[in-house]
Amino acid sequence: MSVTQIPAGSTTAGIDHDLDCARRAFTSGRTRPLSWRVAQLEGLLRFIDDCEAGIAAAVCADLGRDPMATFMADIAPVRHEIRHTLANLAQWMKPERVRVSAATAPGQAWIVPEPKGVALILGAWNFPILLTLHPLVSCLAAGNAAVVKPSEISAATARYLSEQLPRYVDAEAVRLVLGDAEVSASLAGRPFDHTFFTGSTPVGRAVMAASARNLTPVTLELGGKSPVIVASDADVDVAARRIAWAKAVNAGQTCTAPDYVLVEESVRPALVERLLAELPLRGAQDSTRIVNDRHVARLRRILSTHGGEQYGGAIDESRRVVALGVDPSGTQRPLTCTGGLTFAGGPWNNYSTRAIATVVSRLRESPGTYGLVTANSGYLTKHAFGVYSTEPPVDGFRRENVQAEVDAEPTTTVAETHDGIAEIESWTVAFGRDGNPEKAFVAARVPGGARTLAVVTDSGDLRELAEAEMAGRRLRVEQSGTARLD
């Protein structure tokens, strides 16, 4: 493996060479045979086995994480994936015989798994081994070459990979690139045959946009919201213990860490009480640090905005350690906005809602009816929904065509321009690659009930929109379409 260190500010030096080298390795045909694929996977397995202690030390340098936690989160899953792939690869590579239509008979047809070519793998910092090597396992098993860029935020782990991994895999088919965010952006804009990215939703959008210019297919594993639902018949002690454990893992720097709770009102006080007792215990058991000072400052702003210190939340900025807390007053906050980015840290908010419970109650009152609950998400689907019913839809929906009823519902007119005060309904904050908000798109109600759209660019207003609940807040809209908070 070749390791290319790209200097800060340079986004082209060496990258084209690495891509060309990987492309030559693939087009030579040597990556296709089962023997080559097995050799690469066995090399990765030897790397994991030989370098387990070094991996744990590098991750500890980046995140302060305990070696056993690194074994469970980073090392063991990769080892399992390699062994599982080795056990099944020969079967996966076999052509699958399929039927042909009458028009093509007596012809024969097969589905033959084919490598894609050269893949780009952009690793993540929160689980720097798992989220870099896990996709590499599948990439090599499928007979592809790869250009791999570990996250620059987990710098010690990236350096360790660059120093040790070259000894275990094909030196030309797998290329390692080190560098900053500009290097990642430059890589994403090049003509790879597949791109795998793990990280935040804003950066995922940028990766997808850059890949689209070359029609490069992408696999995006992005952050999102991870709610917990606690019903009235739940064992509150067990729920609190599990929630606290899940939040404390890796100091909350996990895309699946719970960051808000949907809890039935009858058990909310008991759950909050147990969480306030459990969170400090679980947090103390996890030695992981917040990854860098920028994220510490972000969490400090969140705590300050919402008064989190009075509910157990605290930050030791010198050690980059966050004490977990819960805000029991979250029940007073509207459900129109829960942020939009994974918190990836300790401050934590709590919501009480009757939305799903109310839908279920209404369904029970009218058996055979249906309820639709919708939500926006950025994980696997752009829009997700659930249909709830007391009966399976054996006979279909009562109304096969509801379009007329939908059309009869009151509609909101759109004010294409507005000059004056409006009230915020919803908003989306767009972040730059540096993690700071760049602009916000706001939907607001104007006097008279019409809806208008506006763009906010003021830095102070953007901080508020990114960190606080703003539904119902007044803003002043200019005829040009720009706006400021009132």
Active site residues: 221, 255
Report helix angle 76-92 to 34-50, nearest 10: 170
Entry field: residues in the chain: 486
Cα angle 309, 313, 315 (rounded to 5 degrees) comes to 95
Spatial neighbors of 448 by CB under 8 A, at least 6 apart, are: none
Specify the amino acid at residue 144.
N
Q: Are 342 and 364 in contact (CB under 8 A)?
A: no
Nearest CA-CA partner of 22 in 45, 1, 44, 7: 1
Q: In terms of C-beta distances under 8 Å and separation of at least 24 residues, what long-range contacts does 234-240 make, across chains too?
A: 234/267, 236/267, 236/270, 236/271, 236/274, 237/274, 239/271, 239/274, 240/271, 240/274, 240/275, 240/277, 240/278
Q: Sign of the C-alpha dihedral, residues 357, 361, 364, 366?
A: negative
3-state secondary structure (DSSP) of residue 308:
helix
Q: Sign of the C-alpha dihedral, residues 208, 440, 259, 337?
A: negative
Q: Are 300 and 315 in contact (CB under 8 A)?
A: yes
3-state secondary structure (DSSP) of residue 174:
strand
Residue 287 has which token pair? 């030695």
Nearest CA-CA partner of 464 in 438, 434, 435, 485: 485
With residues binned 3-state (H G I as helix, E B as strand, rest as coil), the percentages for the chain, rounded to 5, are 40, 20, 35
The CA-atom distances, in angstroms, between 352 and each of 227, 266, 277, 349 are 11, 10, 19, 10
CB count, 10 Å around CB of 131?
25
